[in-house]
Amino acid sequence: MTEITYRDALKQGLREEMLRDDNVFIMGEDVGLNWGGAFKVTKGLAEEFGEDRVRDTPISENAIAGAAVGAAITGMRPVAEIMFGDLISLAMDQVCNQAAKMRYMFGGQTSVPLVLRSVFGGGKNIASHHSQSLEAWFMHTPGLKIAVPAFAYDAKGLIKTAIRDPDPVMFFEHKLVYDRKEEVPEEEYLIPFGEAKVRREGADVTVWGTFFMVHKALEVAEELAKDGISVEVIDPRTLVPLDKKTLIDSVKKTGRLVLVTEETKTGATTAEIAAIVQEEAFDWLDAPVMRVNAPDTPVPFSPTLEQYFIPDNKRIADAIREIV
């Protein structure tokens, strides 16, 4: 195994699938020869595979998503990149009314094997149009699968699984994890959807989080261990399908649950997870479920305000201490 960045792990997964299947191609704004993607994930792929298979597109998210749907239902396997997750709002009809519904509405006569990659989260001071975490929008849409890898190993394994999937997959990444390194196998591997990862075992409280919040939860767990508080950290890896069993088993063990995401609080995925635990593991809870989210405001541009907006280690630790 070699230690590589999250960015390079994604690129490896994309490259391997393009070598394996000529129907796989990449499309999006600035993904090709001139730029290699806004976050350099596709850098070098156009040189290797040519501009037919790594296609720069006009600045039109609706057109990108629509073309990807058309390509998918006619036998291709497009990987469409939307530069920032916030801008999927410009393609919501294509994603949520077309791609998500086609298999169901056509009675299973067609599949839509497309992957839509995009980036969520703050921390770069690029304001509200480029910093939100909107994964709950898509979790609410039947027909879409959702991958949320927080680590390089998972990014590679999940992108390969997503490309091979017969249904549309929303593949979401976080801006602040691209440079983080991890050991990643050079040989091929796939990670099944719907299998969460227990990142740290613990006995006193379960922390379930997504994206960069998983990394923060692990830091908090390390610090709280010095005070004798044992924190179990769960990384869902995919939101749809959702691994409820790993979550419920953990809650039954610890009796306490803290949910941490960068989403604004109202209607976040944390609300759905809290409801699931209330319905399926209420008798094992020894304290109320705690949610740590961003406030219900647009993401501020101001670095100081953005730092306040995004949940930090102290807020996570305070929530854990409150119920332990």
Q: Residue 54: is its pLDDT beyond 90?
A: yes
Residue 300 is encoded by which pair of tokens?
Answer: 């501020």
pLDDT digits (tens, 9 = 90+) for 151-172: 999 999 999 999 999 999 999 9
Q: Does the pTM exceed 0.85?
A: yes
- The residue ranges of DSSP E strands in the chain, in sequence order, are 2-5, 24-28, 54-56, 77-81, 115-120, 145-147, 169-174, 181-184, 197-200, 205-209, 231-235, 238-240, 257-264, 290-294
121 with 223, same domain?
A: no
Mean pLDDT of 65-76: 98
pLDDT digits (tens, 9 = 90+) for 124-158: 999 999 999 999 999 999 999 999 999 999 999 99
- Choose the final residue of a domain: 129, 159, 184: 184
* CATH code of the domain containing 68: 3.40.50.970
Mean pLDDT of 36-47: 96
Contact (CB, 8 A) for 190 and 160: yes
pLDDT digits (tens, 9 = 90+) for 253-304: 999 999 999 999 999 999 999 999 999 999 999 999 999 999 999 999 999 9
Counting residues of the chain whose pLDDT is more than 90, the rounded percentage is 99
What b/e sequence results for 231-241 when a residue is b if at least 16 CB atoms lie within 10 Å of its CB, and e otherwise?
A: bbbbbbbbbbe
136 with 206, same domain?
A: no
List Cβ neighbours of 93 (8 Å cut-off, separation of 6 or more): 62
136 with 269, same domain?
A: no
pLDDT digits (tens, 9 = 90+) for 80-125: 999 999 999 999 999 999 999 999 999 999 999 999 999 999 999 9
Give start and end residues of each alpha helix (H) in 259-312: 269-281, 303-309
Q: In this predicted structure, what is the pLDDT of residue 297?
A: 97
170 with 201, same domain?
A: no
Q: Residue 34: is its pLDDT beyond 90?
A: no
Contact (CB, 8 A) for 250 and 230: no
18 with 139, same domain?
A: yes
**Position 190 in a domain:** no
139 with 238, same domain?
A: no
Integer Cα distance of 194 and 303 in angstroms: 36
Integer Cα distance of 167 and 253 in angstroms: 35
31 with 126, same domain?
A: yes
Q: Residue 1: is its pLDDT beyond 90?
A: no
pLDDT digits (tens, 9 = 90+) for 171-205: 999 999 999 999 999 899 999 999 999 999 999 99
Nearest-Å Rg of the Cα atoms of the chain is 19
3-state secondary structure at position 35: coil
User: Number of helices (H) and strands (E), helices first, in the chain?
Assistant: 12, 14
108 with 139, same domain?
A: yes
**Position 192 in a domain:** no
Looking at the structure of the chain, the number of domains it has is 2
Q: Give the mean pLDDT of the chain.
A: 97
Integer Cα distance of 222 and 182 in angstroms: 19
Closest CA to 259 of 230, 227, 236, 225: 236
Structural domain range at position 260: 197-323
Integer Cα distance of 308 and 311 in angstroms: 7
Q: In this predicted structure, what is the pLDDT of residue 83?
A: 97
The residues annotated as belonging to the active site are 130
* Burial (CB count <10 Å: 0-12, 13-18, 19+), residue 290: buried
32 with 139, same domain?
A: yes
- Choose the final residue of a domain: 184, 212, 230: 184
